[in-house]
Amino acid sequence: MRINVSVAAIALCVAIGPQGLFAKTVARTFVTTARATDAGIDVSPGQRVRVSAEGTIALQGGGCPAQVDPDGCTHGFSLVRQDIESPVGALVGAFATRTGHLTTTWFAVGKTRLLSVPNGAERLVFRINGSFGRPIGAFRVFAGVTNAGVSTSVTVRRQLANERQVVNTATVTRAMVQAALRRFGFSASPAEISAVYRSGLHAWFTSQLAPSTIDDSAATAYIQPPPINSGQEFPNDGGMVCAYDTELIDAEVSSKRQLLEKMTTYWLQHFSLNEYTADPGPFGEYVQTIHNDALGNFAKLVSDVAVQPDMLSWLGNAGNNGSNPAKPPNQNFGRELMQIYTMGPNALNIDGSQITDAAGNPVPAYSQSDIDAVSLALTGYNYYIPNPFPLGDPRSPSINIVTFSPQAHGKGPYTILGRSVADPGDATVASTVVAALVSSPSTAPFEAHELLARLVTENPSPGYISRIAAVWAADVNDPHQIADVISAIVTDPEYLSSLTQPMLKETDEFYVDAIRALGGENANPVTTTSSAPLQGVRLDLEDAGQFITAPPTVFGFYTVGDKESLISNASVLERDYIATRVSNAMRLTPFTPVPFSAYNTNDSFNLDATKLATMTGAEVADYLVDALVSTSTPELRSLVRAYVGNDPTKAPGAAYIILTSPEYEAN
């Protein structure tokens, strides 16, 4: 059988758009039945091909559902192509020669497949399986070729990222400055990196730990608090919730108070709450509360979060009644307050190691009786929202009212963690309970380990944990406790060496880091005068499965210490799409701002790259490598230089190469 083959591929390691090239090694291809030809990539015998696909197509007629994913419809087979024993509408593949002669029969690929290239094969081609009905649409397919048998994209990315060069830790290098500003901020342009390198990391952290001393008026003017009827401000995706999660992106991109913004997103993950199950009215106040306390005292932060309307609602503590001994109150929040928010499930030594009993079993940090007592103590809280809802800034405390009912409150005293805790009998009981929990010996090492694992190194040493936990415990009543702990982390003897170890970017970091590194650190809406937010970025992050205010569970997006779990076949495709968005936003010639009335989420930001147009090709390549990665491998630099050649207009494509490289995956 002879087939026609057409290349519809965009290389992962090359470029997109007008400067795009076809690569024989790693490609993304769109397969559609709108044309009679097949799409595919070049292969060689002995290689292995990892294929992952996503999206849906519509089936017109036949007995299958209207929408089918790459696995197809399981209850039908093709009558049109008898040689394809695959579900209707499924993504199928076959190996072929370069001239189009099949060397294998067609087989189901589905959503994911690892294939060995047989002898005689020069191409891997794809089709959508014929069916009773007619499939309309396209699947997005990622096909990666490797010379070794690697089972998952996670393994590949981890392996390549670990091949990054290790810099000398005797002095603070420019690469260390880059890594520090990515882990405790959201990156910066090369010029800003150089300025911090000259003035010193110590000076940068000193300033960032006192955010009120930083003039952030430009960002403040840009990040306007949206009115409560914010649907008028978001023509494409209106809603009060969207107003505030988009504002987070605005702040991450434009604020000079980078440490404050990074710690805000950190605590939003720690107190994992999904905005789509939250009450949209108070959600802005929830975010603002965390922002206000992000560098303050931990007990105050926990206490303030505990009585926020959306946290009361999220874990079932709103209206929780403890007045009836025969009907115990809902214990969800009381349990999570200990398990996730303060001390963790197991008793810990100061170095973070688990305390075990004589049989070697972990000793629990708390008991069921503690859950009972904490849950009972936290009853009586509720909230209401005025109707009609007031116009104006939703963060105003006057628009949502938290109430405390002594009649619905379970009376104390309470025995918590072996201590008697008095019941004040009023709304301050939450602070009283939290004070008892944060004084647990397990809280300091639990929180110290999480801070280090999320921001510094996923495998902190016992000594590092011990030293930070000691500062945490000593400052438990200090109003600047969290800032003091951050200061201890970055002045610790192990901190500089940690900057030489790769650490996977979270998806939020992946996107915002790129915007800031490529000159988007200033407010960059579609016009320089409107306050149109970076809503398209928010929507992209939501599609990628990691927008900061929409975690899938109370445990967040990943288990602490396992950031690599963020990488999957689907997330790789989404990150590649983000790279497409960023590189397409680069403007090599002056652009005319779009009027606010024409604002569209697909054009929500522009990156001024006009200065690159005046550089030589080699200068463009080196500038972009420096802007986006701390320590480049020779292979990446050579690839980018070879691609750009003497044509600086290939800068967007060069940026795409870097953004889809393993080097960029690491902070």
More confident residue, 51 or 243: 51
pLDDT of residue 386 exceeding 90 = no
Residue 526: predicted pLDDT:
41
| CATH 3.20.20.80, applies to 9-151 | no
pLDDT of residue 379 exceeding 90 = yes
Radius of gyration of the chain (CA): 27
Report the Cα–Cα distance between both ends of the chain, in Å, rounded. Answer: 49
Collapse the DSSP code of 94 into the 3-class scheme (helix H, G, I; strand E, B; otherwise coil) and give the result: strand
Region 182-191: what's the mean pLDDT?
94
What length does the chain have? 667
Task: State how far the Cα of 145 lies from the Cα of 645, in Å rounded to an integer.
Answer: 25
Region 383-412: what's the mean pLDDT?
72
Cis peptide before 388 (omega within 30 of 0): yes
DSSP 611: G
Phi/psi at 125 (5° precision) = -115, 155
Residue 331: predicted pLDDT:
95
Sheet strands (E) in 98-163: 107-108, 112-116, 123-128, 134-136, 138-146
The dihedral formed by the CA atoms of 510, 516, 521 and 525, expressed in degrees to the nearest 10: -60
Task: State how far the Cα of 541 lies from the Cα of 142, in Å rounded to an integer.
Answer: 19
Phi/psi at 37 (5° precision) = -90, 170
Residue 357: predicted pLDDT:
94
Cβ proximity of 610 and 587 under 8 Å: yes
What are 501-550's pLDDT values in tens digits?
Answer: 888 899 999 999 999 999 875 545 444 444 455 777 877 888 887 878 88
Task: State how far the Cα of 521 lies from the Cα of 503, in Å rounded to an integer.
Answer: 22
Task: State how far the Cα of 388 lies from the Cα of 525, in Å rounded to an integer.
Answer: 32
Helix ranges, 97-139 (H): none
Residues 6 or more apart whose Cβ sits within 8 Å of residue 540: 511, 574, 577, 578, 581
More confident residue, 391 or 450: 450
Task: State how far the Cα of 315 lies from the Cα of 308, in Å rounded to an integer.
Answer: 11
Region 192-221: what's the mean pLDDT?
89
Task: State how far the Cα of 143 lies from the Cα of 25, in Å rounded to an integer.
Answer: 8
Cβ proximity of 659 and 628 under 8 Å: yes
What are 121-169's pLDDT values in tens digits?
Answer: 888 888 777 644 556 666 777 776 654 333 323 222 222 222 222 223 3
Mean pLDDT in the chain?
Answer: 78
- Where exactly are the structural domains of the chain? 9-151, 298-445
Q: What is the pTM of this model?
A: 0.74
Residue 9: predicted pLDDT:
27
* Tokens 């510094």, located at residue: 456
What are 601-635's pLDDT values in tens digits?
Answer: 445 677 888 899 999 999 999 999 999 998 778 88
What are 68-104's pLDDT values in tens digits?
Answer: 788 777 544 333 333 345 677 788 888 888 777 788 8
Task: State how far the Cα of 426 lies from the Cα of 633, in Å rounded to an integer.
Answer: 60
Residue 205: predicted pLDDT:
93
Residue 387: predicted pLDDT:
63
What are 451-507's pLDDT values in tens digits?
Answer: 999 999 999 999 999 999 999 999 999 999 999 999 999 999 899 888 888 888 999
DSSP 553: B
Cβ proximity of 90 and 65 under 8 Å: no
Residue 12: predicted pLDDT:
26
pLDDT of residue 407 exceeding 80 = yes
Task: State how far the Cα of 466 lies from the Cα of 470, in Å rounded to an integer.
Answer: 6
| Integer angstrom CA distances of residue 300 from 397, 402, 471, 476, 477 | 17, 17, 17, 10, 9
pLDDT of residue 229 exceeding 50 = no
Residue 37: predicted pLDDT:
42
Strand partners, 5: 38
Residue 325: predicted pLDDT:
87
